[in-house]
Amino acid sequence: MTVILLPGAATLAQLHDIWSGEKPVKLDPSSHDAIKAAAASVAKAASGNAAVYGINTGFGKLASVKIAPQDVATLQRNLILSHCCGVGEPLDTATTRLMMVLKLLSLGRGASGVVMSTVQILEDMLIKGVTPVIPSQGSVGASGDLAPLAHMAAAMIGEGEAVFGGTRMPAGDALSAAGITPIVLGAKEGLALINGTQFSTACALTGLWGAWQNAATSVLTCALSTDAIMGSTAPLQDAIHTLRGHAGQIAVARAQRALMEGSEIRESHVDGDTRVQDPYCIRCQPQVTGAAMDVLHFAARTLEIEANAVTDNPLVLVDDNLIVSGGNFHAEPVGFAADQIAVAVSEIGAIAQRRVALMVDPTLSFDLPPFLTPDPGLNSGLMIAEVTTAALMSENKHLANPCTTDSTPTSANQEDHVSMAAHAARRLLRMNANLNVILGVEAMCGVQGIEFRAPLQTSGPLKAAMTTLRREVPTIAEDRYMAPSIETAAQMVASGALTAAVDLPAFVKGHAE
């Protein structure tokens, strides 16, 4: 079913639905009048004698060079081809399509000056499944995501490469096979397509949704770990967290308390339990992961605004009869949001890794066997799985260093401060994949630890999660080739299979669904 989007009012829920289901998209017809009005303003400027940046001048440092009217179309085509300088692995299909949707939303605001056929070819490509091949490296998030968006625009004019029917081919062939005619760019259209933050924003949104899934899963895995070590639930009392007042902290404590409600393991030591001072990785989970969730909510709001923004240059202000140069293409808001998400992902993983270390360490794990194996010595159990989580935790700490502070001048010093938002956003994919593994291993350890507490049983919700994991990852009775089990557990985290087994509140699930 085609999703109809209203420019300026698209929600993250709609965008997530499009991204996760690769659904076809069209703009609400109510946006067409504004698009046509801006295009008329550009046509008028292109036929005049006054120099207007991006319409009848060169670009960037060449903005003072006037272009003859008969060369305007060539100017736009040259712009696209010369900016197709991306390198590296191609962006995945779902994120590429999301980038195209975000560009549609931006053009649909009626401030970019493109004609309707340019909007319609993007819609047709999304509906018929023609996906440009977008190299993932080459943007500094300055005058927009120039190189990545140029590769998108190149496919629209029949240049570069695209994927159609699962096959990578020349873009012209892909368009032809889908029954789509390439467009010829008019005045300003090439610039409207490549100026903007849509590559960075699409990557940041993908990172946000992955982070939410990980954050939600970490509430479940912490509950498993807490029962595995027979930890205290006293620090989860609501009054503790409401006295502080942070929404994320309150929500995480309540969710974890609900997950553990009715556990025989917990009830077996609730009376006279002197272990009110569990290590911080258990006791401070609401404070740490709750704070991370608050950060994710803040970043989500920034990215929702950006998803609906007009970020190319110059902008066509139809009501004021002006075409003016500005700086909305500067992706600093996206870079900040991505940096915040990165810190949250790193911290969720850091505290989870310490829980893994806690469970495998016989000096700390409260009577669990060393490395959670029933026959330690002959078997190493989860010893090296914990080492892997430590390696990935450390890698994420390095990756979490801010990108937005690493500006460098480009384009002959015309673009003398850049956001590095593309770097900030792209690294989230790797960080979330690392965190998938850390939480997958924590789930393996937590379930294995709870099984050692038999005949005592855990809570109903945690039993459901254990059953889900055990369908794919068997109990580790003796040493076996471990990599496939870790990979499977990580995939279950990433897909949401583990959290689907339990009931989590909306705040905790956030924008994961």
pLDDT in tens, 306-338: 999 999 999 999 999 999 989 999 999 999 999
pLDDT at 276 over 70: no
Q: What is the pLDDT of residue 147?
A: 96
Q: In this structure, are 399 and 285 located in the same domain?
A: yes
Closest CA to 364 of 220, 219, 230: 230
Q: In this structure, are 223 and 184 located in the same domain?
A: no
Of the three residues 134, 168, 196, the one that is the final residue of a domain is: 196
Place of tokens 């009775």: 477
Q: Give residue 167's identity as a one-letter amino acid code.
A: T
Question: Which residue in 53, 212, 336, 507 is the catalytic one?
Answer: 53
Contacts of 305 (CB under 8 A, 6+ apart): 333
Element (H, E) at 97: helix 93-107
Q: What is the pLDDT of residue 130?
A: 98
Q: In this structure, are 123 and 218 located in the same domain?
A: no
Is position 152 within any domain? Answer: yes
Predicted confidence band of residue 274 (pLDDT cuts 50, 70, 90)? low
pLDDT at 363 over 90: no
What percent of the chain lies above the pLDDT cut of 70? 96
Parallel/antiparallel/unpaired status of strands 87-90 and 3-5: unpaired
Q: Report helix, strand or coil for 113.
A: coil
Residue 286's CB: how many other CB atoms inside 10 A?
27
Predicted confidence band of residue 511 (pLDDT cuts 50, 70, 90)? low
Q: What does the alpha-carbon distance between residue 319 and residue 269 come to, in Å, rounded to a whole number?
A: 71
Q: In this structure, are 145 and 240 located in the same domain?
A: no
Q: In this structure, are 338 and 374 located in the same domain?
A: yes
Q: Is the CB of residue 420 less than 8 Å from the CB of residue 335?
A: yes
- 53 in active site: yes
* CATH classification of the domain holding 502: 1.20.200.10
Closest CA to 102 of 196, 214, 240, 208: 196
Q: Is the CB of residue 503 less than 8 Å from the CB of residue 259?
A: no
Is the C-alpha dihedral spanning 460, 461, 467, 469 positive or negative? Answer: negative
Is position 50 within any domain? Answer: yes
Of the three residues 138, 165, 196, the one that is the final residue of a domain is: 196
Q: In this structure, are 469 and 344 located in the same domain?
A: yes
Q: What is the pLDDT of residue 364?
A: 84
Q: In this structure, are 140 and 211 located in the same domain?
A: no
Name the region of 312 (left: φ>0; alpha: ψ -120 to 50; beta: rest). Answer: beta
Span 125-135, average pLDDT? 97
The number of distinct structural domains making up the chain is 2
CA distances in angstroms from 512 to 445, 499, 500, 507, listed in the order given: 24, 10, 11, 10
Is position 413 within any domain? Answer: no
Q: What does the alpha-carbon distance between residue 461 and residue 390 come to, in Å, rounded to a whole number?
A: 28
pTM of the predicted protein model? 0.95
Q: In this structure, are 272 and 312 located in the same domain?
A: yes
* CATH classification of the domain holding 109: 1.10.275.10
Closest CA to 105 of 309, 392, 251, 279: 309
Of the three residues 196, 220, 237, the one that is the final residue of a domain is: 196
Q: What does the alpha-carbon distance between residue 195 and residue 313 come to, in Å, rounded to a whole number?
A: 6
Q: What is the pLDDT of residue 52?
A: 77
Q: What does the alpha-carbon distance between residue 457 and residue 463 come to, in Å, rounded to a whole number?
A: 8
Q: In this structure, are 284 and 168 located in the same domain?
A: no
Is position 412 within any domain? Answer: no
Contacts of 62 (CB under 8 A, 6+ apart): none
pLDDT at 365 over 80: no
Q: Residue by residue, what is the 3-state secondary structure of 413-479?
A: CCECCCCCHHHHHHHHHHHHHHHHHHHHHHHHHHHHHHHCCCCCCCCHHHHHHHHHHHHHCCCCCCC
Residue 168 structural domain: 3-196
Give the CA-trace dihedral at 482, 484, 486, 489, to 10 degrees.
-140
Q: What is the pLDDT of residue 75?
A: 85
- Secondary-structure percent of the chain, ordered helix, strand, coil, rounded to 5: 60, 5, 35
Closest CA to 485 of 449, 445, 452, 458: 445
Residue-wise pLDDT for 7-16, tens only, equals 999 999 999 9
Q: In this structure, are 64 and 210 located in the same domain?
A: no
Contacts of 332 (CB under 8 A, 6+ apart): 141, 404, 419, 421
Q: What is the pLDDT of residue 59?
A: 66
Q: In this structure, are 123 and 164 located in the same domain?
A: yes
Span 18-29, average pLDDT? 94
What percent of the chain lies above the pLDDT cut of 90? 84
Residue 144's CB: how many other CB atoms inside 10 A?
28
Q: Is the CB of residue 142 less than 8 Å from the CB of residue 60?
A: no
- Helices 198-228/93-107 angle, 10° precision: 130
Q: In this structure, are 232 and 379 located in the same domain?
A: yes
Query: What does pLDDT average to over the chain?
Result: 94
